Each structure stands twice: as structure tokens, then as C-alpha cells.
Chain A
Amino acid sequence: MKDYSDLISPILVKEFRQGIRSKLFTFTFLLSQFVMVLIVITGLALDGMNQKDFNILFWIIVILPIMFLLPLSGINSISEEVKLKTIDLIYLTHLGSFRILLGKMLSICFQILLLLSAVLPYVIVRYYIGNVNLYEDLVFLVNAFLIATLVTSLSIFLSTVKLNPILKWILLLFILYSVIGSISVLSFGPASRSGMGFMSVGFIIYIYLFWALTITLILEFGAKLIAPEIENHSTSIRLIGIAFVLIAFSSTIFLSSKSEKEFIFATTMVIIGLISFVSCCEKMKTSPLVYLPFVRYKRSGRLLGKLLYPGWITGIIYTVFLTASFITICLSTGLMPMDIFDDLSAPIVISFISTAVYAPIVLKVFGDRIKRVITFSFLVHLISAIPFYFFSIGHGMGKSWSSTAAQVCAFFPNSYFLCNLTPFNKINTVFQIVGFAVSLGFIAFFLKDIIFSYYKMKAIEFKAIQILKEKNAQSLNEVS
């Protein structure tokens, strides 16, 4: 094909043109065709028992390029553009960071679809050989494609992360682990969990909704990492968080199965936790342009901005708002998703929120010396999660251990909440006082910083209002 429609995104056209000529795609395509022919011919010659083994081999050969080889080809796509400095050239056009990532992802997805469509005749031929459930196979192929798109979005996200290769590989392992987890969910379904039974149509629709939102979220995370100062992805990420909560809320109306609802709420909780964490670690944007879309709507816009402006200060307000909304929904619908955990659920949530809030505090202490904010935040998060682990281990071992664990935890600020929200709060007063003092110190430091940053944010907001006024005056002049 020489020319492509103007309706297709330019970056998709570019990536597709490059992708289908790449050695990886050509090699994968030809090799999979060769192996398919070989397997089908060999399958014809075998009896029923061995055919089953060959079925497994058949699907491994299908899945390997679709779920791993092609999706992971995107792992260097953005870092290459940055290295070649071509990313700057693209920024100067009409394309933004999100569209760049989306185009790259869709291009790989189209390559996967091409490969899948080439494999489809062999799937159907196997049906005529016998011992094959065509419906199950097709469902599996659809699910495999959906998971492949998820892996692709993750690999595109990884390409935006400035990490050393070891950390990138650790993240890659995490991706593979997620894939295996997703396969188990999609293949065996929630049916295998807590007697959920078959998945309802409504639940499947929710799964697809979550799939689409998760991919958008992953790409927004990636876009946020590479975007120029004037682009704002924080607001989109926070809106996605709100969308997750709303979808979870709607599931209480449209779904009847409690276990399905629990699954949706548990997933939502993990995702909004991640979004809150990222929001709380954000550096404040100094460009008034980012504030312009909000100040345009005057007071209501500015009020909404306090929740959605980029920066850690609004991130904290957002975290509190989102968590409160989520808990309210859980309580009002009579559904406590924490039921799937044990009685430590409340401390888990509170510890999670409080540790999420620590990252910006520590970031503020170290100031501009930290170059890799996200990596550092993860580290802080891990360290501050220690009391939770101490406490949960101690709690699991009995009351006396629980008390000792609480003493150790007392040094950590979040343990103040932890120890007081559980029945096992008989901790040593000295330890508690020390813990409380540390908490107060943190809070005092934090408050000072909050006030300073709040006024800094107001100053940028004011600048944005001035720009808007100038623009309005200019357009009025032009009209007159």
C-alpha cells in the first residue's frame, strides 16, 4: 500500500510502515507460518491423545510471538526517538505525547492482528481434524489479543522510563508476571475464585471497560514521563482514577453477583492507590498554560483545579477526595471490598494512604537532589511500608507478638494510625510518644511546605488568569 487515509493518525502510519518492514516482524511472520504448516501436518498423522499435546504446542507457538515477541518490540521505541532526537521534531508538529504513544502501541497491535489473521486458517483447519472446540479457541484468541495489547502498552510505557537495564528487566519480569496473572483471570475467570460461577455478560463488559481504561492509564503514565512542560497529563490520569471509581460504583447497580463486584472493587482499589501515589509525588508545573483550561471556567474551574491541577499539593487533596469517595461508595452500597482480606483491612488502607503521602514529604526534604523522582518514590514507599509488614507478621503470630510489633512500628509515623485502629494497641507509652513526636514533626514540616506550595500554586493560577484576560482583550480588539 503506497498511501494511507488521512483519517489514520500520522504516527500510526509511520510506525506501521516501519514495523511491517522490520526484521522482527518478517522473521516472526515467516517462522510462525512455517511452524503452523509443520504442526498441522504432523497433527493429521497423530491419534487423539497426542493431538492434545500438539494442541498445547500449537497454542504456545501462537502465543509466543503474539503476547511476547511483538509486544516487547516496543520496549525501546521511545528511548530510540529520544536518543535520535526525533522526538523533538515530532513535538513541533501537532502531535502530543499521548498520541505518539498511542500510535506506537496501535501499530504493534495491528502487526499482532496481521499475525493472528495469518494464524486463523490453521485454527480452523484444526477444527476439521477434530478434537477441537472452535468456540473456545476463538475466545482464547480474542483474550490473547486483549492481553497482548496490555503487554504492548506496558512495553511502550517502559520505553519512556529512564532506568538502568537491570531495573528495566525487573520491571519486565513484573510485566510477564502480570501477563500470567491476566491469563489465569481471563482463561479460568473469576469462576475459579470463591465460587463465582460463570462470568455474567455484564461482568465481561466491565472487564473490557477496565481493560480500555487501564491501557489509557498506562499510556498516560508514559506520556507524562516524556511530555514537555506545557503538556498536562496529570489531570487526565486523575480523571481516569475518578472514572474507575464511577465504574466501580455503577457495578453495584448493574451486577448482581457479590464476588464479581468484589473483584471490580478490589481492582479499582489497587488502581486508585497507584494513581494517588503518582499524584502525591508530582512536581508542580510552573507553566501557567497548564492552568488556563481551568481558569477559563472562573470560580468553578479554579475549584476543580484544586483537585486536578498537576502537582503534589493538589495530589494530596485528590487522594483524600478519591479515597473518601471510594470508602463512601463501599459503605453506602453495603459492600466492603476489604472483606476479601482479613480484619487488618482498615490498617492496610490507612497505612497505604499514609505511606503514599510520605513520598512527597521525603522528596521535599531531599529537594532537587533527586533526579529519578519515581524510582525514589518507590523506594520511600517500600521503606515506609515496613511497619505494615512488621505489624501484620506480628499480628499473625499472636497477641504478644502483635504488641512487640507495635512497639517496633511506633517509630514510624503511620504506625500511629495502625496501632490505634486495631484491638492490639497496648504499646509501650514511651515508644508511642516517640512515634507521635516523629509524626508531629513530619506533619509540621509538611504543613509549612503545604502552605508555601499552595501560595506558589495560587501565584501561577493568577498568572494564568492574567494571560486569559490579555487573550480576551486581544480577541476583542481584533473583533472591533
Chain B
Amino acid sequence: MSNAIEIENLVCRFGDFEAVRDLSFSIEKGQVLGFIGANGAGKTTTMRCMATLDTATEGTIKVCGHNVIHEPSLVRKLIGWMPDDYGTYSNMNVFEYLDFFARAYGYKGNDRKERVAEVMDFTDLTSLAERLTDKLSKGMSQRLCLGRTLLHDPEIMILDEPAAGLDPKARLDFKRLVRILAEEGKTLFISSHILNELEEMCDNLLFIDEGKLIHHGTSDSLKQLNKKGVAMNIEILGDPENLKNWVEHNQNMSMISLERDGAKVLFENEEKEFLAAQLTNMIRDGLKVSSFKRDEYGLEESFVNMLTSREDQNEGL
């Protein structure tokens, strides 16, 4: 399968500040890729360069084989860019907003009207056609912005923090739309802070930190890479401090957090025999255990682990 996006040795500098450092990766056509990084990691800069909005200091970006620097007009036809800010206008309704962008993308006459109607239908905006865009809720604005991104039917969609600030229903709506687009064969490049949601939507995940690529693969591969044992949720009768003291006096385990009725404890060995032995020890030592269950090791924990180990490595250097 050919690549939708290929980035080689991308460097973006703003004065003395290096936002992106030697970033290289590629995405196959039809993939849904989650782009993850802490604030200031260089996500938006990378995405803006891909969308031809910023110029890279060094390196190359190719979209469907076309260089973004050499053929920006062609690339713009292939990509749809949805920024983190939805950017709507005052004194303009939903239809007029989409109509303006349809005109700007070169649609004419009936084609334009049909395309706007199709997009409004897809994003459930038909009933809101006459509503002023600055009077829309966040979820509606987000759908409007997604509609605008879809107007010229791009092959690749770059979505920057699309679900930020949305209520649960709007998030579900958005996920449904993304799923449909992925089924249609569009390549989706989504950045977000809500990692568990990305895990559900994306085929692959790409992590960057301080402008550098730190992981590219599936969420499972990341979890395996950063797994350091098993987290257990333990509840006891009585003061949770007793459990904390017990953990501190034993080896091969550490406290993650103290909870209301117990604690989250990290055991370095995840074998069943080891865990059963620890439970027996706890009871033998007088702790009244009321619950002992495995905690789901999520993407967020993996991401934080990965960042922490990178920080440790940097400090070691």
C-alpha cells in the first residue's frame, strides 16, 4: 500500500527555539493515526507544516507523493485541515459559512449547492442551516468545522484536538463520524489529549516529545513496551495507612496512590502465584482485605511511564 504522508528529517525552528527535531515517519493510505504529545511537544507545528501553513526549516514532507513545498496547491486539494480553534464568523449562518468555503474551493452552481447539502446532511447540520455560526454550541461548531474540512472531499484529514472541550454526547457523535470517514477509506491524522479515545479510534499511534518521535505503533505495542508489572486495586477494612505501611515494608511492590478505602499498588511480578502469595501475606499480617483486583493498564499510564523514563534517562545523562 502506498503512503499517504511521508515525513523525512523534519526540523522546524522559530528563532532559537527548535519546535520539531529530525522527525521522520510515514502513514499508509486509509490509516487512522493518533498523534500524541504533551503541550509544546511540536504536534501543531508538524501538522501545520503538513497542511502547507508553515514552512519547515529542514526536511521534506510528501502528501500522496507530492512535496508540500514544491506543490502546495496540489497538496491543499488532497488535505483537509481542522484546527484546534473552530473559527466561525459573526453575522453568518451555517449554510452561508459552508457556502463561502464551497465557493472558495471552486464549486459552482448546482454542484456547490449539492455539496453543501451533502456535507450538512453528513454532519447533521441541515436543521441548523439558518442558525448564526457564533450562536452554535461547541459540539455544533465542531461538526460545522468538520463539515468545512470535508467540503472539497480530501483524501487526508488532519484534525488538531478535534474532541477538546466537547460534552460526552458530542464526543460520541464525533467518534461516529470519524468511524464512517475511516470506513470510506480516508486517511485520518488526529491529535488529541484524550488518549483512551484515540486508542479506540486509531489503527496506530505516534508519540512525540520535545519535537522528537518516541514511539510509532499500535496501542498494545506501547503498553507492552512500557509495562513494568501489574497495578492492583486493594480495599481493606480499617485505616488505609496500614496498607501503605505494609507495602513500604515489603519488597517487589510500590504504592501508586492511596485511595479512600485502600490503595493502588504496583506489583513488579504479574504471575498469578506471586499475586496469590502476596494476598496470603497481607491477610497473615492482619490486614482485612475486602477487595483485591487487577487494575486496567491504560494508554495514559503507558504514555506517562514513557515520558517519565525518558526524563530519567535525560537526568542520567
A residues sitting closer than 8 Å to B (CB atoms) are: 6, 10-11, 13-14, 17-19, 21-22, 84-86, 88-95, 228-230, 286-289, 368, 467
Contact = CB atoms under 8 A, between A and B. Distances in A.
A230 B100 contact: no
A90 B85 contact: no
B87 A13 contact: no
Contact of B52 (A13, A84, A92, A368): A92
B91 A21 contact: yes
A13 B112 CA distance: 14
A58 B48 CA distance: 53
B81 to A, nearest CB: 6
A22 B148 CA distance: 24
B72 interface: yes
Contacts of A288: 69-70
Contact of B83 (A18, A85, A467): A85
Contact of A18 (B92, B104, B106): B92
21 contacts: A6-B103, A6-B112, A10-B104, A13-B100, A14-B96, A17-B91, A17-B92, A18-B90, A85-B85, A88-B83, A90-B104, A91-B53, A92-B53, A92-B79, A93-B106, A230-B72, A287-B55, A288-B70, A289-B69, A289-B70, A289-B72
B15 interface: yes
A94 B74 CA distance: 11
Secondary structure dominating the interface of B: loop
A84 B103 CA distance: 20
A16 to B, nearest CB: 11
B69 A287 contact: yes
Interface in B237-287: none
Contacts of A92: 51-53, 76, 79, 81
B294 to A, nearest CB: 45
Given A89-B87, A289-B72, A94 B104 contact: yes
Contact of B101 (A89, A91, A287, A467): A89
B168 interface: no
Contacts of B90: 18
Contacts of B96: 14, 17
B109 interface: yes
B89 interface: yes
Given A6-B109, A94-B104, A289-B70, A89 B81 contact: yes
Nearest to B81: A92
Contacts of A94: 104-106
A143 B4 CA distance: 56
B108 interface: yes
Nearest to B15: A368
Contacts of A17: 91-92, 96, 100
Given A14-B96, A94-B105, A89 B112 contact: no
B158 to A, nearest CB: 10
A228 B104 contact: no
